[in-house]
């Protein structure tokens, strides 16, 4: 028997005994997939399944696509609402290539020469150049830390990436065949090289003597909402993504990633249903049969949830408590964020696209986040200004400031008081380090906190990256991309394997498209 696909219809062809050729007996209906959530992973999954020949519909409770990768426009200022650092653009380009399109016809970007500017309370500043040699020399000139130490540290970051990438990031960790591959076995033999048994801070404090350099490299733990004083040194893989593959800026801003991928998906026939919250995943006799939304049963052969797994089970599979992976759902959540979107009526030449203003006591800051569950009086401040490279994101001679600090997940804290105190402390810190009172320059403001992150993106407790990585086995403890109890049910996005952030969310979509087969 031979299966042959012809655009929207699949035919089964049977050879007839004694007759040359084949007889078309009947057409097979095209398989249907529904995706819950139009976050970046949901959109990418839709594209991949559409390319495979599925009829795909995406349902989202919001009136817009993108999830966290959305935008805010107000009084002449435009802000990318969520992720602001763009690395590994090849994973975006791959989606267009997969669909037979030229990526440059949809989406363009530029590589940054300056990854980030770092500001310290002692008034010192470090420019993190993308070029490794230039970056190492900058650190030596500003701190006295030997450039060779920086180059060695980044080489170690490269080695961790080479060991973990194909095994832990690009494949399902919950499929036996992953572990039967030669490259997996080779990575297992090199496992100690990924440094899983020391904390990230311990490894960095061993590599460098200057506390400012240690702090700079400790910061990478926050890229997946973790604590460098608890998280394994394996997370030292992250600098490799910036200083080898590079950091980029999409010419249309970060939200153009969402816009371009939605356009591609629609051209492939994907149907997006906005303002369309899903109430239930319909499961019958261990099979995912579709979803229920707005009183309607929507049948599908494949159901993919891009919603946080906690809400997927507790909201959409509430009728099936026996299916809930209790240990996974009870894991420690990642940190959250408090973001101020400020319209600033002035330009600051000293600032770049990405800027970090470090706390004077980094350990105290993380103790407040993880142990005391509140916000330190001197938080590290991340400041992103997209108008530096996209001037029309702000009025003339103005800047759009995306001001973010790491905060604990929502556990019922008095957020109104915490936000008011944090706002005062952030303005004082920025004013002190920039030499100018920032408060009067703020002419426009919006705020995103753990409560609104949860309500807008269905991220449990407002945790941005699902579970934390404050454990050496975190990669193995993340929820799988395929249900082991419900056939036809799959998971993508930042709360499942391989993790949060744009590149990993896109990889989760790739894994789903492969395990669906």
Q: The CATH number of the domain where 100 resides is what?
A: 3.50.50.60
Residues 6+ apart with CB under 8 A from 143: 124, 126, 210, 212, 213
Please give the pLDDT value at position 10: 39
- The answer to whether 498 and 478 have CB atoms below 8 angstroms apart is yes
State both tokens at 443: 């002419």
Please give the pLDDT value at position 475: 60
Q: Is residue 300 part of a domain?
A: yes
Distance from chain centroid for Cα 502: 4
Q: Is residue 124 part of a domain?
A: no
- What is the domain count for the chain? 1
Is the pLDDT reported for residue 178 higher than 80?
Answer: no
Please give the pLDDT value at position 472: 67
> Residue 17's pLDDT band (boundaries 50, 70, 90)?
very low
Q: Is residue 370 part of a domain?
A: no
- The answer to whether 39 and 457 have CB atoms below 8 angstroms apart is yes
Is the pLDDT reported for residue 322 higher than 60?
Answer: yes
Q: Is residue 446 part of a domain?
A: no
Please give the pLDDT value at position 295: 94
pLDDT mean over 291-308: 97
Q: Is residue 6 part of a domain?
A: yes
Question: Closest by alpha carbon to 278, among 311, 301, 302?
Answer: 311
Q: Is residue 198 part of a domain?
A: no
What's the pTM value of the predicted model, to 2 decimals?
0.91
Is the pLDDT reported for residue 173 higher than 70?
Answer: no
Domain of 310?
2-75+92-108+255-331+473-516
More confident residue, 354 or 194: 354
Q: Is residue 183 part of a domain?
A: no
Please give the pLDDT value at position 165: 75
More confident residue, 281 or 467: 281
Q: Is residue 297 part of a domain?
A: yes
State both tokens at 187: 């990575």
CA distances from 204 to 44, 157, 158, 193, 235 (A): 35, 11, 15, 15, 11
Q: Helices 502-516 and 90-98 sit at what angle, rounded to 10 degrees? A: 40
Please give the pLDDT value at position 194: 80
More confident residue, 190 or 7: 190
Please give the pLDDT value at position 476: 65
Helix (H), strand (E) at residue 272: strand 271-273
Digit-coded pLDDT (tens) for 26-80: 445 689 999 999 999 999 999 999 999 999 999 999 999 999 999 999 999 999 9
Question: To 10 degrees, the CA torsion angle through 273, 266, 386, 400?
Answer: -30
């Amino acid at each position: 028997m031979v299966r042959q696909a012809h655009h929207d219809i699949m035919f089964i062809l049977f050879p007839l005994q004694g007759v040359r050729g084949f007889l078309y007996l009947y057409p097979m209906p095209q398989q249907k997939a529904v995706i819950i959530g139009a976050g970046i992973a949901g959109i990418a999954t839709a594209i991949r399944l559409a390319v495979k020949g599925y009829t795909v519909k995406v349902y989202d409770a919001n009136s817009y696509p993108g999830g966290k990768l959305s935008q805010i426009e107000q009084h002449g200022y435009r802000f990318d609402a969520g992720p602001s650092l763009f690395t590994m653009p090849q994973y975006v380009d791959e989606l267009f290539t997969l669909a037979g399109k030229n990526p440059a016809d949809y989406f363009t970007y530029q590589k940054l020469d300056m990854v980030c500017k770092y500001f310290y309370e002692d008034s010192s500043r470090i420019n993190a150049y993308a070029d490794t040699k230039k970056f190492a020399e900058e650190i030596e000139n500003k701190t006295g830390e030997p450039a060779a130490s920086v180059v060695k540290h980044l080489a170690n970051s490269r080695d961790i990436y080479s060991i973990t990438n194909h095994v832990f990031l690009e494949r399902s960790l919950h499929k036996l065949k992953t572990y039967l591959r030669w490259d997996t076995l080779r990575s297992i033999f090199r496992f100690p090289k990924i440094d899983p048994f020391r904390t990230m801070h311990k490894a960095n404090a061993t590599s460098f003597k200057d506390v400012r350099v240690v702090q700079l490299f400790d910061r990478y733990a926050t890229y997946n909402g973790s604590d460098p004083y608890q998280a394994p040194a394996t997370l030292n893989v992250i600098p490799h993504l910036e200083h080898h593959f590079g950091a980029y800026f999409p010419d249309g801003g970060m939200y153009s990633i969402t816009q371009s991928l939605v356009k591609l998906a629609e051209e492939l026939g994907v149907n997006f249903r906005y303002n369309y919250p899903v109430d239930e995943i319909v499961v019958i006799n261990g099979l995912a049969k579709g979803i229920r939304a707005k009183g309607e049963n929507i049948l599908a052969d494949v159901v993919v949830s891009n919603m946080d797994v906690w809400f997927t089970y507790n909201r959409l599979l509430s009728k099936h408590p026996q299916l809930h992976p209790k240990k996974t759902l009870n894991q420690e959540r990642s940190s959250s964020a408090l973001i101020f979107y400020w319209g600033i009526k002035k330009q600051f030449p000293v600032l770049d696209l990405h800027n970090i203003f470090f706390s004077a006591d980094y350990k105290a800051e993380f103790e407040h986040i993880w142990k005391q569950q509140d916000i330190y009086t001197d938080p590290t401040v991340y400041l992103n200004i997209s108008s530096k490279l996209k001037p029309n994101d702000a009025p003339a001679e103005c800047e759009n400031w995306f001001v973010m600090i790491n905060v604990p997940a929502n556990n019922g804290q008095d957020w109104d008081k915490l936000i008011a105190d944090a706002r005062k402390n952030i303005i004082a810190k920025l004013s002190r380090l920039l030499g100018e009172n920032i408060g009067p320059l703020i002419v426009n403001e919006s705020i995103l906190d753990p409560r609104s992150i949860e309500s807008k993106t269905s991220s449990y407790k407002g945790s941005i990256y699902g579970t934390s990585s404050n454990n050496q086995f975190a990669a193995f403890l993340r929820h799988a991309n395929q249900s082991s109890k419900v056939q036809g049910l799959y998971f993508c996005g930042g709360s499942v394997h391989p993790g949060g952030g744009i590149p990993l969310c896109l990889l989760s979509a790739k894994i789903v498209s492969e395990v669906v087969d």
